[in-house]
């Protein structure tokens, strides 16, 4: 008997199966005509759907999810206006090398006119992401598989555009799904270094007296932390990390912290004395001080699978060792001759341990908090196994200075410099680590940009503590405008009631004007779970060292302690 067209599966049914076949078990979604049938089927087949309130949040949440799980992050948006909402998050995902797949609809092919029609390919291409229109029903399953293959292989976002009239057709194609991309990827062993390169690097390094081993996310991924510690110990040198890799050596007494815009006081001092930096699995970005801004006297050796001489417009490394981070560092350490003398000593370890990240004294208004004290109080009170998400804005400097927190409990992604990612990033981490409590550290401006996601967090029962450093302003802009003597209009807003806003969305909300009650509040939150917004009213008179360096303030009381 012939099946009627109605009883036959639709293309969207089979497309949902193709995504399940790819191992997709979490999808961040905002529905419209061009993706909702597919999304409904995906949900029915057991994929956990997180229904957000803005498409930017769907993509941004999939980014932190991808980073935290090491898997492909998946999101879905409708055609036209759904797709255009992706454009702020995509460049960051491209630059952060994140494997993502976005199921996007396209306008129906059969319509002569359609109001949401847009040439989506060039818009996506402009961000650096790949766009794969799937217009041939028979090839769609392979097309989906290839999108995942490309995302994994190129570590890049891939947007799949499928006209929704095609999605609605009866499926006449083969019932077999292709083998998933994961099974097809070549299984590659880590790349060992060439012996000549090792010998050359060891000779160079043997002559150095003040060595810093600087690790980036490549070192994290390659599992090179122990090798880096051993190299630093062998050379009598110090350790540092980039911001995203912060915490990789959190319990090492000779780690000076983050290198770059976020370097603490003691780190600046020691980095300036370095005569040799070994950069491991690190792209030597401008913000990490990759061009040697913080270590003007040092030679630079880069150990990486893809070493570079010039990065982000500046000369970075003259010496290179091409290898997997762990294998390269291990080989280099093994090739070093025995050495006399050491830069490190006990007094140095004590200084590193006891120094404040920043000891500058500021005069601040009564009733407001010093952001450094807020970070210190939270560092003390928050359990060490909570997942930390550091967002953006001026306040992110202070929140990054929580030295007891390990790298595997930290997330930041700042590759496009956009604010407004805090809530979606925290949602992605919460989805990736459902058994953990997530703490988001954000500014009031960043939070307000996508504040609607508080509702998503409540509805999905995500366990997220949202800590806001509220200076009633776009702090970064205030400080830059002040440094030029320009009016502050457009950057100062006043302290709005974030706790009240949180309660309006059904979350708990609390305003902090003093810090004594932080430990009790942490204990209560740990017991209750759920989600809450904690609003810390801080002074905008406290400037981070980065802002002080780049934008000195006329007429402000700034004195070293």
Residues that bind ligand TPP (CB under 6 A): 393-395, 417-420, 443-446, 469, 471, 473-477
Provide the sign of the torsion angle of the four alpha carbons 452, 454, 457, 459, taken in this order.
Answer: negative
| Minimum distance from residue 88 beta carbon to ligand TPP (Å) | 6
| Minimum distance from residue 510 beta carbon to ligand TPP (Å) | 18
Of the two residues 289 and 443, which places its CB atom closer to Mg ion in the complex? 443
Alpha carbon 339 to chain centroid, angstroms = 39
Helix (H) and strand (E) counts for the chain? Answer: 24, 20
How many C-beta atoms lie closer than 10 Å to residue 193's C-beta?
A: 21
Tokens of 264: 């603490």
Residues whose CB is less than 8 angstroms from the CB of residue 287 and which lie 6 or more positions away in sequence, other chains included: 243, 260, 261, 414
For residue 420, the partner it binds in ligand TPP, Mg ion, none, with Cβ less than 5 to 8 A by kind, is ligand TPP
For residue 418, the partner it binds in ligand TPP, Mg ion, none, with Cβ less than 5 to 8 A by kind, is ligand TPP
| Minimum distance from residue 444 beta carbon to ligand TPP (Å) | 4
Piece of the chain touching Mg ion by CB under 5 A; list 24-32, 50-58, 140-148, 465-473: 465-473
| Minimum distance from residue 552 beta carbon to ligand TPP (Å) | 17
Tokens of 4: 């009627």
Asked if residues 457 and 531 have their Cβ atoms less than 8 Å apart, the reply is yes
d(CA 392, CA 476): 10
**Does 475 help bind Mg ion (rule: CB under 5 A)?**
yes
Of the two residues 357 and 445, which places its CB atom closer to ligand TPP in the complex? 445
How many C-beta atoms lie closer than 10 Å to residue 203's C-beta?
A: 12
**Does 371 help bind Mg ion (rule: CB under 5 A)?**
no
Q: DSSP strand E in 305-384: where?
A: 310-311, 314-315, 319-322
Of the two residues 195 and 417, which places its CB atom closer to ligand TPP in the complex? 417
| Minimum distance from residue 514 beta carbon to ligand TPP (Å) | 20
Asked if residues 312 and 281 have their Cβ atoms less than 8 Å apart, the reply is no
Of the two residues 387 and 444, which places its CB atom closer to Mg ion in the complex? 444
Asked if residues 242 and 261 have their Cβ atoms less than 8 Å apart, the reply is no
Work out the burial of residue 188: count CB atoms within 10 Å of its CB; fewer than 13 is exposed, 13-18 middle, 19 or more buried. Answer: exposed
| Minimum distance from residue 437 beta carbon to ligand TPP (Å) | 22
Element (H, E) at 28: strand 26-29
For residue 50, what is the DSSP state? E
Tokens of 246: 């912060």
Alpha carbon 163 to chain centroid, angstroms = 32
**Does 161 help bind Mg ion (rule: CB under 5 A)?**
no
| Nearest alpha carbon to residue 248 among 285, 293, 214 | 214
For residue 259, the partner it binds in ligand TPP, Mg ion, none, with Cβ less than 5 to 8 A by kind, is none
Piece of the chain touching Mg ion by CB under 5 A; list 18-26, 271-279, 325-333, 473-481: 473-481
Asked if residues 362 and 558 have their Cβ atoms less than 8 Å apart, the reply is yes
**Does 442 help bind Mg ion (rule: CB under 5 A)?**
no
d(CA 175, CA 408): 41
Residue with tokens 């949202």: 466
Piece of the chain touching Mg ion by CB under 5 A; list 341-349, 398-406, 436-444, 498-506: 436-444
Strand order across the 26-29 sheet: 48-51, 26-29, 73-77, 100-106, 157-163, 130-133
Piece of the chain touching Mg ion by CB under 5 A; list 80-88, 148-156, 472-480, 518-526: 472-480
**Does 13 help bind Mg ion (rule: CB under 5 A)?**
no
| Minimum distance from residue 362 beta carbon to ligand TPP (Å) | 15
| Minimum distance from residue 371 beta carbon to ligand TPP (Å) | 8
d(CA 125, CA 161): 13
d(CA 108, CA 163): 5
**Does 445 help bind Mg ion (rule: CB under 5 A)?**
yes
**Does 422 help bind Mg ion (rule: CB under 5 A)?**
no
213 three-state secondary structure: strand
For residue 509, the partner it binds in Mg ion, ligand TPP, none, with Cβ less than 5 to 8 A by kind, is none
Of the two residues 51 and 362, which places its CB atom closer to Mg ion in the complex? 362
| Minimum distance from residue 446 beta carbon to Mg ion (Å) | 8
Of the two residues 108 and 393, which places its CB atom closer to ligand TPP in the complex? 393
Alpha carbon 63 to chain centroid, angstroms = 8
Which residue of the chain is nearest Mg ion when measured via CB? 443
Of the two residues 140 and 448, which places its CB atom closer to ligand TPP in the complex? 448
Of the two residues 371 and 509, which places its CB atom closer to Mg ion in the complex? 371
Of the two residues 21 and 511, which places its CB atom closer to ligand TPP in the complex? 511
| Minimum distance from residue 406 beta carbon to ligand TPP (Å) | 25
Choose, by CB under 5 A, the member of 55, 71, 106, 444 that binds Mg ion: 444
| Nearest alpha carbon to residue 283 among 366, 219, 225 | 219
Of the two residues 181 and 491, which places its CB atom closer to Mg ion in the complex? 491
Asked if residues 55 and 77 have their Cβ atoms less than 8 Å apart, the reply is yes
Piece of the chain touching Mg ion by CB under 5 A; list 127-135, 200-208, 439-447, 489-497: 439-447
C-alpha dist (Å) from residue 355 to 256, 264, 403: 10, 9, 11
For residue 357, the partner it binds in ligand TPP, Mg ion, none, with Cβ less than 5 to 8 A by kind, is none
| Minimum distance from residue 492 beta carbon to Mg ion (Å) | 9
Of the two residues 298 and 419, which places its CB atom closer to ligand TPP in the complex? 419
Residue with tokens 């970070």: 375
For residue 292, the partner it binds in ligand TPP, Mg ion, none, with Cβ less than 5 to 8 A by kind, is none
| Minimum distance from residue 398 beta carbon to ligand TPP (Å) | 8
Asked if residues 60 and 219 have their Cβ atoms less than 8 Å apart, the reply is no
| Minimum distance from residue 15 beta carbon to ligand TPP (Å) | 33
d(CA 237, CA 211): 5
Choose, by CB under 5 A, the member of 471, 533, 537, 544 that binds Mg ion: 471
For residue 419, the partner it binds in Mg ion, ligand TPP, none, with Cβ less than 5 to 8 A by kind, is ligand TPP
- Which positions touch Mg ion (CB under 5 A)? 443-445, 471, 473, 475
């Amino acid at each position: 008997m012939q099946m009627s067209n109605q009883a036959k599966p639709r293309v969207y049914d089979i497309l949902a199966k193709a995504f399940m076949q790819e191992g997709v078990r979490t999808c961040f979604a905002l529905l419209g005509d061009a993706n909702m049938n597919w999304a409904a089927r995906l949900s029915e087949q057991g994929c956990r759907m997180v229904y957000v309130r803005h498409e930017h949040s769907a993509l941004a949440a999939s980014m932190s999810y991808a980073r935290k799980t090491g898997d492909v992050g998946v999101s879905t948006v409708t055609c036209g206006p759904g797709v255009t909402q992706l454009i702020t998050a995509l460049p960051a995902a491209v630059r952060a090398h994140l494997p993502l797949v976005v199921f996007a609809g396209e306008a129906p092919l059969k319509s002569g006119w359609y109001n949401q029609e847009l040439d989506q390919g060039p818009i996506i291409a402009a961000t650096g992401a790949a766009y794969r229109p799937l217009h041939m029903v028979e090839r769609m399953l392979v097309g989906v598989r290839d999108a995942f293959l490309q995302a994994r292989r190129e570590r890049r976002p891939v947007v799949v555009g499928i006209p929704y009239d095609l999605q609605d057709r009866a499926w006449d194609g083969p019932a077999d799904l292709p083998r998933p991309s994961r099974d097809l990827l070549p299984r590659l062993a880590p790349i060992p270094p060439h012996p000549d390169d090792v010998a050359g690097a060891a000779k160079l390094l043997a002559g150095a007296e003040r060595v810093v081993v600087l690790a980036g996310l490549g070192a994290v991924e390659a599992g090179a932390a122990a090798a880096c510690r051993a190299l630093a110990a062998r050379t009598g040198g110090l350790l540092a990390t980039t911001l995203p890799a912060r915490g990789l050596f959190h319990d090492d007494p000779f780690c000076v912290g983050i290198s770059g815009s976020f370097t603490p006081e003691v780190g600046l001092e020691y980095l300036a004395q370095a005569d040799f930096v070994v950069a491991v699995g690190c792209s030597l970005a401008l913000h990490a001080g990759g061009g040697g801004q913080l270590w003007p006297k040092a030679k630079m050796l880069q150990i990486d699978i893809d070493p570079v001489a010039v990065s982000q417009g500046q000369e970075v490394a003259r010496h290179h060792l091409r290898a997997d981070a762990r294998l390269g560092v291990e080989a280099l350490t093994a090739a070093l001759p025995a050495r006399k003398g050491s830069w490190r000593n006990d007094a140095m370890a004590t200084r590193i341990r006891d120094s404040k990240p920043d000891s500058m004294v500021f005069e601040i208004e009564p009733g407001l908090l010093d952001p450094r004290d807020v970070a210190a109080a939270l560092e003390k009170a928050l359990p060490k196994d909570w997942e930390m998400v550091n967002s953006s804005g001026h306040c992110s400097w202070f929140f990054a200075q929580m030295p007891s927190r390990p790298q595997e409990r930290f997330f930041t992604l700042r590759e496009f410099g956009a604010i407004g990612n805090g809530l979606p990033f925290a949602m992605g981490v919460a989805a990736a680590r459902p058994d953990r409590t997530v703490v988001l550290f954000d500014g009031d401006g960043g939070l307000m940009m996508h504040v609607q996601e508080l509702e998503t967090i409540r509805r999905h029962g995500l366990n997220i503590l949202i800590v806001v450093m509220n200076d009633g302003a776009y702090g970064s802009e205030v400080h830059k405008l002040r440094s030029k003597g320009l009016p502050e209009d457009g950057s100062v807003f006043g302290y709005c009631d974030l706790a009240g806003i949180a309660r309006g969305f059904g979350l708990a909300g609390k305003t902090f004007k003093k810090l004594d009650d932080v430990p009790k509040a942490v204990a209560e939150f740990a017991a209750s779970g759920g989600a809450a917004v904690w609003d810390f009213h801080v002074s905008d008179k406290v400037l981070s060292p980065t802002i002080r360096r780049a934008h000195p303030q006329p007429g402000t009381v700034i004195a070293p302690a």
